[in-house]
Amino acid sequence: MRNVAKLVALDMGALYSGTHKYRWWSYLVGFLMVLVPFVNGDFAMPLAGANAGTSVGILMMPFASADRHGLEQLYTMLPVRRREIVSSHYLFGILVMLLIDLYAAIIIGVGRIARFNPIHDPHAISWMMFFATGLVLLQITLSFPLMIGLGFQRAPLAAYLPIGIVILAVFLETSLDLDIKVLHAWNPVLLGILIAAFGLSWWLSTYLYKRREF
């Protein structure tokens, strides 16, 4: 467990490995995403949804950093099991999911006390939080086995696969005039399926990583 915690710390450190200019721009964007809903609450829900989309860039950072600095070869020389390396990546993904959900909740909370058009629909709020959680879980479930099993250099587009699926779903909903609201009652079932798929994804990533050669 200690090794997993240290590896998670390395993954979290990858979020701050960029230049100072990049970090300050990130802080500015984060501040504006909270300030805008305070001015007009109508923007809270779209911004909360867009916040979930940032999972694409955040979740791929540790893999890009490891590939850039050759850390994967270093890991094989350390007394660390490959199962622990995979577990650290998935634990990092869960932490990112919780942070994204927390920030989305802050954005929505600010929107509810906005000066204009505050949000008072608990069903819409719960659906948005479910969407944010589900999107990050889907992102981890689909992209991690590819990036862990093949390496980031061989599968850089894997991180964008879930977003492509979401865009396709939105396109089908619009073109075929489907009512996604009917799925709201099935949220617990859908979340259970996502969690089961998450576990299967972890097992597959572990299996592929054990067979991978460096």
- What would the pLDDT profile of 177-206 be if each residue is shown by its tens digit? 555 566 666 667 777 888 888 899 999 988
- What pTM, to 2 d.p., does this model score? 0.79
Of 12-16, 117-121, 167-171, which gets the smallest average pLDDT? 167-171
The per-residue pLDDT for range 67-91, each reduced to its tens digit, is 776 677 777 677 778 888 888 889 9
Which one has a higher pLDDT value, 6 or 175?
6
User: Looking at residue 140, what is its pLDDT?
Assistant: 87
CB neighbours of 53 closer than 8 A, spacing ≥ 6? 135, 163
Contact 125, 39 (CB under 8 A): no
Burial 178-200 (b: 16+ CB within 10 A, else e): eeeeeeeeeeeeeeeebeeebee
Count of CA atoms in the C-beta half-sphere (13 A) of 29: 10
User: Looking at residue 189, what is its pLDDT?
Assistant: 78
Mean pLDDT for the chain overall: 76
| Number of domains composing the chain | 1
The answer, yes or no, to whether residue 31 has pLDDT greater than 80, is: yes
Where in the sequence is the domain holding 125, given as residue range(s)? 2-211
pLDDT band at 4 (very low <50, low <70, confident <90, very high): confident
